[in-house]
Amino acid sequence: MSSEIGVRETIFKRIGVHSHIRGLGLDEKGRALFIADGMVGQTKAREAAGIVVKLILEGKIAGKGVLFVGPPGTGKTAIAVAIARELGEDTPFVAMSASEIYSSERKKTEILMEAVRRALGVRVREKRLVYEGVVEKIELRRARHPLVPYMTIPVEARLTLFTKDDKVTLTLPEEVTHQIIEMGIKKGDLIWIDASTGRVFREGKARGVEKARYYDIDTKRILDIPSGPIKKEKEIVRTFTLHDLDFRFSIERSAVSIVSIFGIGVTKEIPSEIRKEVDELVKKWINEKKAELIPGVLFIDDAHMLDIEAFSFLSRAMESEFAPIIILATNRGIAKVRGTDIESPHGIPLDMLDRLLIIQTTPYSKEDIAEILRIRIEEEEIKISKDAFDALVEIGCNSSLRYAVQLLDPARILAMNEGRDEISRDDVLRAKELFIDVKRSVEYLKKYEEMFLK
């Protein structure tokens, strides 16, 4: 007797809360379109953010920061993400919660310093002598392994490269040969080799090379055969963050490198002397026109959780020669500045508030909530009936937008349990009964207050 076990294939697909955002959704005059680039409503806040983007691009936001203030669920984080999208793909964007700076292992100023330097990019340009062309032929020469006589290993390669105008055969040493083999380089691949370091880089596959293999689905870029000589000067562009350079220099100067070889996370604090050395090197590159600084965005949510020391550090960081764009967000009103007995707007010291461009967000209207829900439903590819959608909109208006969005997946699961792929109104209402909102949670606490532990 044989038994069969049915295995259901499950595909895990995680969709970020702000994955649908493409930009601020402004027209050519800087006016916010009601729905554009995944953004809905909050027109004044988005237009203000558009001005901030222009100030950043003109380099006129030095010594300043940005603060988003508004009730929970009004799009503060979404607008910060949109600012980073507007600044460009290679703009560093570091998002963190203010509570992340409190650690028993590292000082909070060290955590903030690392975040600041992660948000600063350096685009390095250098001209290198390279051999660049399409692979026509690879011939390997093998020799007996020095320790295992019955094995042979590649010790040399003859590589023929060609362009539209030139053809060269190179004799490559063992270390470059190993790179060729490990990368799986084959006939038709477009590659270049650094003449001074021997590093091999593959750019893609050349189009139309005779006897080269091509696939309907290919992970390699298909490029045209280049023209010009094989041996030439090539401008290499690489982008690092200042923290990448700090970490690299720190490894080279300490025993931390032994730890990193085995893949163990390094939490050691980086000495200020190393950061100073990195800064001097970057300044030198910039003065020699070899590099340019890319100010990124450091976004700190729940800014009211920062204490007086953290605010002092950020004030100084804003005035630094190397400073990212610091964006804070909070949903607090009048609150105590952490670490003091002083009450201040948003729990932020007044001298810090003076340095910030403050942008307010307001509660969403019913129309806004409907459009945002529609975008999330399309992004998550969920099928939903009109009655169910209307019910979600009403829930969003009466409770909160976040609560309405959170009910989408439970309602989808309930529909699946009933053998349907479309969410009905009953599914939404059932999910609402199973997962209560904040208002009903408060009512529950009041009703059973005496039974809860104090």
Q: Where are the domains of the chain?
A: 35-119+296-360, 122-286, 366-447
Closest CA to 407 of 444, 369, 366, 442: 369
**Assigned token pair, 283:** 């300044």
**Assigned token pair, 385:** 């009936």
- Please, which pLDDT band fits residue 387 given cuts at 50, 70 and 90? very high
Please tell me the least confidently modeled range out of 89-98, 304-313, 403-412: 89-98
DSSP conformation class of 334: E
> Cβ–Cβ contacts within 10 Å for residue 399, how many?
19
Average pLDDT over residues 107-112: 88
Cα–Cα distances (Å) from 425 to 386, 396, 408, 421, 438, in that order, read 8, 14, 11, 13, 21
Rounded CA gap, 429 and 366, in Å?
19
Q: Is 163 or 211 the better-scoring residue by pLDDT?
A: 163
What is the gyration radius of the CA atoms in the chain, in angstroms? Answer: 29
User: According to DSSP H, which parts of 262-383 are helical?
Assistant: 272-287, 308-319, 350-353, 366-379
- Tokens 């800064």 sit on residue: 279
Name the strand (E) or helix (H) holding 189: strand 189-194
The predicted structure's pLDDT at residue 254 = 64
**Assigned token pair, 73:** 């669920």
The predicted structure's pLDDT at residue 257 = 46
* pLDDT tens digits for range 57-73: 877 777 788 999 988 87
Name the strand (E) or helix (H) holding 56: helix 43-57
Residues sharing a CB contact under 8 Å with residue 174, sequence separation 6 or more, in sequence order: 154, 155, 156
**Assigned token pair, 79:** 């607008």
In this structure, the chain runs to a length of 454
Average pLDDT over residues 408-416: 91
DSSP conformation class of 338: B
Contact predicate 339/345, CB 8 Å: no
**∠ CA 274-278-283, rounded to 5°:** 150
Rounded CA gap, 274 and 32, in Å?
44
Contact predicate 152/132, CB 8 Å: no
* pLDDT tens digits for range 223-277: 888 888 988 888 877 888 888 888 888 877 665 444 444 444 444 678 888 888 8
Query: What's the CATH superfamily of 35-119+296-360?
Result: P-loop containing nucleotide triphosphate hydrolases (3.40.50.300)
* pLDDT tens digits for range 195-208: 888 888 888 888 87
Contact predicate 83/53, CB 8 Å: yes
Closest CA to 22 of 65, 69, 78: 78
The predicted structure's pLDDT at residue 241 = 87
**∠ CA 216-180-215, rounded to 5°:** 5
Average pLDDT over residues 62-87: 85
- Please, which pLDDT band fits residue 2 given cuts at 50, 70 and 90? very low
Helix pair 425-434, 386-398: axis angle to 10 deg: 30
Could you say which architecture CATH assigns to the domain 122-286? Beta Barrel (2.40)
Closest CA to 428 of 401, 453, 404, 397: 404
Fold identical between 35-119+296-360 and 366-447?
Answer: no
Q: Is the pLDDT of residue 426 over 90?
A: yes
- Please, which pLDDT band fits residue 11 given cuts at 50, 70 and 90? very low
Name the fold adopted by 366-447: Helicase, Ruva Protein; domain 3 (1.10.8)
